[in-house]
Chains A and B, each alone.
Chain A
Amino acid sequence: MRKRGATSLLLATGLGGGALLAAFAASCSFPSSDARTLQTALPDESTFAPVAELLSVRCGSIDCHGSVFRNLRVYGSTGLRYLASDRPLSPLCNTCEEDRQTYLSVVGLQPEAMSEVAMGADPSILTMVGRARGTEAHKGGQVWSEGDDSDVCLTSWLEGKVDSADCKSGVNAALSPADPSDDPLLACFSAGCAAR
């Protein structure tokens, strides 16, 4: 009798548990499959060109972020071209579409955090800022230091007050050390992107 009682109790427990599971399934509200997040706050795309130039020169070689396989894609005249018909440095400067694609990739990497930064949060919460500074592990190593021209170029743009001179200095530092001021790429800062 004791065994039978125990078995009955077990069956009742199982049925009760199953009923609870079914009740949960029927009553629970699950995360919506079509819920969307609108990136309402964004860094300014219209002032992105000097930053795009910096990223292209500092990060966009074809073995780094100038690869379409990377999470962060960097297009530009010195690396990954947007149009298959374009060649390295021909056209010499980034095209507007290349800047646009790089912008999409930059703001789309951590969209929620990027919006926070655009609304005033510390840019260092972004992985791309930390990786470039070397405070976060980065396959390409430390690219620049916190507070130097390149870092200020990127973070000032994120904060909504881009300093084009810092971007130019950042590019300068990455060009030929012999006489970087002669590099024709520097002309792109005044020429702007080429519409195609």
Chain B
Amino acid sequence: MRLQLTRSFRLGVAVLLSSMGPARAQSSPGDLAVSATTAYGSYADTDHVFVQTPSVSGVVSNPVAGWSVGGQYLVDVVSAASVDIVSTASGRWQEVRQQGNLDASYKPGTLGVAASAALSDEPDYLSWTVGGKITKDLLEKNLTLLFGYFHTHDTAGRTGTPFSVFSETLTSEAFKGAATVIVNRATLASIIGDVVVESGNQAKPYRFIPLFAPGTYVPLGASVDLVTRLRVAARPIEQLPLSRDRFALSGQLAHRFRSSTLRLEERLYLDSWELFAASTDARYLFDLGRRVETGPHARVHLQTAVSFWQRAYIFGPGFSYPQYRTGDRELGPLVNVTGGWTLRVGVGPPRDPNAWVLGFDADFTSTRYLDDLYVTERASGLLGISLEANL
């Protein structure tokens, strides 16, 4: 069962894992560099959703020859009793998702190519992605251009029901273009554009939308009991447009001070469902000696609702239903603020303290849902611990 909140959780895990990254390569020219990471993420929120995510990853590369091969495997163990589940008189459920990724890249000179594949499996959802990127260094490597394309194919079903009996398909074509500039010896700036064209049914097969008689007032954050009392008997399944085009433009700036690093990112997003979002992300890491790197992380995200969003949809005379209807809070207007802290400790031998790095990450997010049933705010925490090694 796909969670209402899964998207934000996965984004958090992705940020966590990417911030861990492989340990810094220490290879001599011509040597193979081998790094491995094991990590554990733990998510909890006030909507009674808990996710445990152990993962392992590894990279083998030859920095001089310019190639690398890597892979990652992770497991999400989800336990949930969120209001969306409780509101349909269902109990807590547990589920396991597994995901594997493979990446390979080759960049012998100024031109580089990379390919990747990912497979994600859970009882009611199968997703695979393949894609690649081309990079080209220009202006004596002061400018790097990137173009990427990824194809994703998702099959969504219902837990316990074979895909042959019920399934929906969603495909997406994702295009990425980026330009990265070395502004000066200590500053890097990037502009990234993303276009994703999605086709298929994205409605959740478990999500049914309460409808109300015309003139019924349903307050913000109305409780499950109140919604149940006010709604009409007809409660139709979620219905969303069958295509969605997404556009995002991001700017990133990273600056290395004498003993610290600042990274800023601004992302603007718009899609063909009229959802507009802006995200601002800042991360500051400072060195405490040779072994310790630590610092804060902050993020603010604001978004408007999709054009067909309504807190309380109306069941009209003559069996009239809203053509599009959703209860997905991620499609409604919301604001969330994240604050976090990162600590990375080099625990390697004195000659190379960062050959082994122990990492700790903690992020806490407060989300306000501005026009929703059941929930008006949610607090969530994501804790991560990792061990990275150059073998």
Contact = CB atoms under 8 A, between A and B. Distances in A.
B181 interface: yes
A6 interface: yes
| Max count, chain B CB within 10 A of own CB: residue among A6, A24, A110 | A6
A139 B88 CA distance: 12
A132 B87 CA distance: 22
Given A2-B142, A3-B184, A111-B319, A136 B158 contact: yes
B10 interface: no
Given A10-B189, A30-B274, A105 B139 contact: no
A70 interface: yes
A25 B316 contact: no
Interface string A46-70: 0000000000000000000001111
A130 to B, nearest CB: 7
Interface in B177-230: 179, 181-184, 189-191, 193, 208, 211, 224, 228-229
Interface in B306-324: 306-310, 315-316, 318-324
Interface residues of A, number: 50
Size band of the interface chain B makes with A: 35 or more
B388 to A, nearest CB: 31
A22 to B, nearest CB: 9
B191 A31 contact: no
Interface in A97-152: 101-102, 104-105, 107-112, 127, 130, 135-137, 139
Interface stretch (B21-29, B107-115, B160-168, B345-353): B160-168
Interface string B300-339: 0000001111100001101111111000000000000000
Contacts of A34: 322
A175 B315 CA distance: 36
A105 B234 contact: yes
A14 B191 contact: yes
Interface in A5-45: 5-7, 9-10, 13-14, 17-18, 20-21, 24-25, 28, 30-39, 42
B189 A37 contact: no
Interface string B144-185: 000000000000001111000110000000000001011110
A168 interface: no
Contact of A110 (B181, B189, B237): B237
B236 interface: yes
Contact of B308 (A2, A21, A28, A32): A32
Given A10-B181, A32-B308, A37 B89 contact: no
B249 A2 contact: no
A105 B233 contact: yes
Contacts of B165: 130, 135-136
Given A18-B268, A112-B239, A37 B323 contact: yes
Given A7-B183, A9-B181, A104 B232 contact: yes
Given A2-B142, A6-B143, A70-B89, 19 more contacts: A5-B139, A6-B139, A9-B143, A10-B143, A10-B181, A13-B179, A20-B247, A24-B247, A30-B273, A31-B308, A33-B308, A33-B309, A35-B308, A36-B320, A36-B322, A70-B88, A108-B319, A108-B321, A112-B239
25 contacts: A2-B142, A3-B183, A6-B182, A7-B189, A10-B143, A10-B179, A17-B191, A17-B193, A17-B249, A21-B249, A24-B247, A30-B274, A31-B323, A33-B307, A35-B324, A37-B239, A71-B208, A72-B235, A102-B233, A108-B232, A108-B235, A109-B235, A111-B234, A112-B239, A137-B159
Interface of A: 2-3, 5-7, 9-10, 13-14, 17-18, 20-21, 24-25, 28, 30-39, 42, 67-73, 101-102, 104-105, 107-112, 127, 130, 135-137, 139
